[in-house]
């Protein structure tokens, strides 16, 4: 190493040595460290000034690097009590403020200190974790080339240091994962900071110590998504005109600047976000974090780790998302993971939900699980129709078996799981009726059981959401399915009975995979998503021409190879899709505006995104 130190070096008059070797330097630094313990603080204070120059004095980078390297070789002389100020001044340095030479020297010191004694491990790990995020002054530079370069330099070094420390101190990852979760920024932290922190967590998950800390990272991220999700109340989304109630998320109702050719997609997005999430920055944070997670899932798929990562996500989902009160967005992480590997992840997700529905202890969990299952089966474009048919059959069997074992009359509270199951069945069939009935075996199974279930004295048609019941009966009629037709149309989204079975949580109106209203995330979800407008159009054609034969139906759907929903007959670009984002969302809803419930045209829309009633909020 050996270097020349000049007399004019800041605050280093005593260190005037024409040229010193590495060993001389080590001796000098060790002497300074030992002399302060013996009561002579002069040289030690000079060392301190090198690390932490007085205000207005620029640090001498060469001297700083040299001293850090010398200190790295002298860590055995450091005493946590006597050299507290020196250790603190080094560990408080932010790598974001220095060039690569200082960064490297800092990391070398960090490794030496962390591995020299157990008492320094936590301090060094904390220093590294604190460097996950830049100082506030650096935030504005993050989008500039210089900032991006510095970010890469810092993050690479921090992670390689963490990996190296884990190699030398095998138990350090245990402490690291606890530290990272404890220091995770709260939901009100600025978006760039929370994003970069989560980016670091995901890098750890896919890094060399991912096997040790990855699970904790993913769970913590999911928890954060849920924190942000529940912080976005429906009221916030609808704050512009609360009187419009639950249906304002129908984008078609907005004054969408469709005719303004000068506005590009980003501006549309910003405009939309500002309109709906103005004052609620958490929605934007959540959107960005979900996109970050999606991108990570793509990387996992490429590296063949998706199955392993999905296992953790699924566990986290069962513990947090499924239990959260009407989670709105966080569940799309699971949806996207399933879309990347429908055969494996897609099946595991559905299996888990159906198992939860059948065997959970609490009715609310079962209702929530079946709501997820129904919404997933209805909306996942990537699921083969045979796969959906399998679960529809299972739901049919479960409902049929329930009817067989239960007597009595309508009792929404006592049989809430049954009504939830029936509603789920009808909901899935509303979306997949044509495809289902195209398979003769499934058609015969549905025909055999559905009538018994719907005509049972428990009267699911009277209790389930009228909007779904009406749509189901209408489609059944179109597709010549034999179902009771004596239910009186109520023209209502919900009834007292449906509210009763939904309970205080209003799980009767819970459709977890309704269109994702986050614009950045929508880019990932859209290609894998079944919008009601796609389904609706095909039935509308049938409505117009009720004489359509079953053979015609079969032409439209491709059994066993995923749903093949007619999409206006032509391939569409993403931009076109984006332009019609609002229109499509409006078409898929049977949900009427609060102010216009009475005007609802029976059976013309499916629920898009429903809100709990104000009482349950």
Partner 1 sequence: MEALKECRANLLVYLHPSNAKNVETAVYRELSSLLFKFNEALDGVVLTYEPKFSSNLARILPGIHPYFGVKLEAKLLLFNPKPEMLLEGEVVKVGQQSIHIVVLGFSSAVIADEDIREDFKYKIKHGKEVFVSRSNKKHRIKVGTTLRFSVKNFDEEILHMCGSLIPDNTGNIQWLETKAEESQAYSITEKRIGNKRAAELLEPDNLVPYKGKLKSENHIKKSKRSKSRDS
Residues making contact with partner 1 (CB under 8 A) = 26, 73-76, 112, 115-119, 121-122, 167-172, 174-175
Copy the structure tokens of residue 499. Answer: 């509210």
CB of 506 to partner 1, least distance (A): 28
Please say which residue, 117 or 489, places its beta carbon nearer to partner 1: 117
Please say which residue, 117 or 278, places its beta carbon nearer to partner 1: 117
CB of 355 to partner 1, least distance (A): 18
C-alpha–C-alpha distance, residues 119 and 297, integer Å = 37
Copy the structure tokens of residue 432. Answer: 């997949």
Comparing CA positions, the residue from 132, 128, 197, 135 lying closest to residue 161 is 128
* Contact (CB, 8 A) for 362 and 555: no
**Angle, to 10 degrees, between the axis of helix 532-544 and the axis of helix 466-478?**
50
CB of 75 to partner 1, least distance (A): 8
Please say which residue, 175 or 347, places its beta carbon nearer to partner 1: 175
* Contact (CB, 8 A) for 379 and 344: no
Please say which residue, 10 or 123, places its beta carbon nearer to partner 1: 123
Burial class of 63 by CB neighbour count within 10 A (0 to 12, 13 to 18, 19+): buried
CB of 35 to partner 1, least distance (A): 17
Please say which residue, 115 or 495, places its beta carbon nearer to partner 1: 115
Q: What are phi and psi of 380, to 5 degrees?
A: -75, 110
CB of 73 to partner 1, least distance (A): 5
C-alpha–C-alpha distance, residues 163 and 168, integer Å = 9
CB of 66 to partner 1, least distance (A): 16
CB of 115 to partner 1, least distance (A): 6
Please say which residue, 74 or 495, places its beta carbon nearer to partner 1: 74
Please say which residue, 76 or 344, places its beta carbon nearer to partner 1: 76
Please say which residue, 115 or 609, places its beta carbon nearer to partner 1: 115
Buried b (16+ CB within 10 A) or exposed e, 147-183: beebbebbbebbbebbebbbeebeebbeebbebbbee
Comparing CA positions, the residue from 183, 222, 187 lying closest to residue 202 is 222
- Alpha-helical (H) ranges within 486-544 are 496-502, 519-525, 532-544
CB of 460 to partner 1, least distance (A): 33
CB of 310 to partner 1, least distance (A): 24
Rounded to a whole number of angstroms, the distance between the first and last alpha carbons of the chain is 67
C-alpha–C-alpha distance, residues 565 and 587, integer Å = 15
* Contact (CB, 8 A) for 337 and 242: no
Comparing CA positions, the residue from 244, 277, 174 lying closest to residue 520 is 277
CB of 168 to partner 1, least distance (A): 5
* Contact (CB, 8 A) for 102 and 61: yes
Query: Token pair 């909007």 is at which residue?
Result: 467
Please say which residue, 68 or 507, places its beta carbon nearer to partner 1: 68
Please say which residue, 22 or 227, places its beta carbon nearer to partner 1: 22
CB of 77 to partner 1, least distance (A): 9
C-alpha–C-alpha distance, residues 140 and 150, integer Å = 13
Please say which residue, 72 or 586, places its beta carbon nearer to partner 1: 72
Comparing CA positions, the residue from 46, 92, 94, 54 lying closest to residue 70 is 46
CB of 212 to partner 1, least distance (A): 12
Please say which residue, 174 or 281, places its beta carbon nearer to partner 1: 174
* Contact (CB, 8 A) for 120 and 80: yes
Burial class of 270 by CB neighbour count within 10 A (0 to 12, 13 to 18, 19+): middle
Query: Token pair 């796609």 is at which residue?
Result: 534
């Amino acid at each position: 190493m050996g270097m020349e130190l000049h007399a004019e070096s800041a605050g280093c008059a005593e260190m005037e040595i024409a040229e010193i070797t590495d060993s001389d330097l080590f001796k000098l630094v060790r002497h300074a460290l030992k002399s302060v313990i013996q009561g002579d603080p002069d040289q030690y204070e000079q060392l301190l000034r090198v690390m932490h120059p007085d205000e207005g004095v620029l640090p001498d980078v060469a001297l700083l690097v040299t001293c850090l390297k010398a200190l790295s070789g002298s860590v055995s002389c450091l005493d946590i009590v006597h050299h507290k100020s020196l250790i603190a001044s080094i560990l408080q340095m932010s790598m974001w403020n220095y060039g690569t030479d200082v960064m490297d020297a800092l990391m070398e010191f960090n490794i030496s200190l962390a591995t020299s004694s157990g008492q320094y491990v936590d301090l060094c790990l904390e220093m590294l974790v604190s460097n996950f995020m830049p100082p506030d002054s650096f935030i504005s530079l993050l989008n500039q080339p210089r900032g991006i370069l510095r970010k890469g330099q810092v993050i690479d070094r921090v992670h390689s240091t963490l990996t190296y420390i884990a190699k030398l101190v095998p138990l350090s990852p245990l402490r690291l994962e606890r530290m990272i979760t404890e220091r995770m920024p709260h939901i009100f932290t600025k978006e760039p900071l929370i994003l970069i922190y989560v980016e670091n967590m995901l890098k750890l998950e896919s890094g060399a110590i991912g096997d040790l800390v990855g699970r904790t990272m993913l769970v913590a991220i999911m928890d954060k998504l849920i924190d942000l999700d529940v912080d976005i109340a429906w009221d916030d989304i609808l704050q512009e005109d609360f009187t419009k109630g639950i249906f304002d998320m129908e984008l078609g109702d907005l004054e969408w600047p469709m005719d303004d050719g000068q506005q590009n997609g980003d501006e549309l997005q910003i405009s939309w976000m500002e309109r709906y999430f103005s004052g609620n920055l958490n929605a934007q944070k959540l959107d960005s974090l979900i996109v970050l997670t999606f991108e990570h899932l793509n990387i996992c798929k490429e590296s063949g780790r998706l199955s392993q990562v999905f296992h953790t996500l699924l566990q986290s989902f069962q513990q947090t998302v499924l239990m959260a009160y009407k989670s709105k967005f966080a569940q799309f992480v699971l949806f996207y993971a399933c879309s990347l590997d429908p055969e494996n992840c897609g099946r595991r997700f559905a299996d888990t939900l159906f198992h939860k529905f059948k065997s959970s202890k609490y009715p609310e969990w079962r209702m929530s699980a079946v709501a997820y299952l129904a919404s997933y089966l209805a909306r996942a474009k990537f699921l083969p129709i045979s796969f959906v048919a399998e679960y529809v059959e299972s739901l049919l069997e479960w409902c049929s078996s329930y009817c067989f074992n239960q007597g009595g009359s309508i009792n929404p509270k006592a049989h809430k799981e049954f009504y939830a199951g029936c509603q789920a069945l009808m909901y899935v069939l509303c979306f997949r009726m044509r495809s289902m009935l195209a398979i003769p075996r499934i058609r015969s199974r549905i025909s055999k059981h559905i009538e018994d279930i719907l005509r049972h004295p428990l009267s699911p048609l009277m209790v389930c959401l009228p909007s779904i019941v009406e749509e189901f009966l209408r489609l059944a009629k179109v597709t010549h399915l034999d179902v009771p037709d004596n239910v009186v149309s109520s023209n209502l989204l919900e009834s007292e009975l449906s509210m009763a079975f939904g309970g205080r949580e209003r799980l009767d109106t819970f459709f977890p995979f309704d269109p994702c209203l986050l614009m950045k995330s929508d880019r990932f979800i859209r290609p894998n998503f079944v919008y009601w407008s796609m389904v609706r159009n095909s039935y509308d054609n049938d409505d117009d021409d009720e004489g359509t034969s079953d053979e015609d139906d079969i032409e439209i759907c491709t059994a066993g190879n995923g749903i093949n929903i007619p999409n206006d007959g032509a391939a569409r670009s993403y931009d076109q899709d984006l332009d019609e984002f609002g229109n499509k969302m409006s078409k898929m809803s049977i949900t009427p505006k609060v102010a216009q419930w009475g005007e609802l045209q029976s059976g013309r829309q499916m629920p898009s995104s429903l809100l709990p009633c104000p009482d349950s909020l």
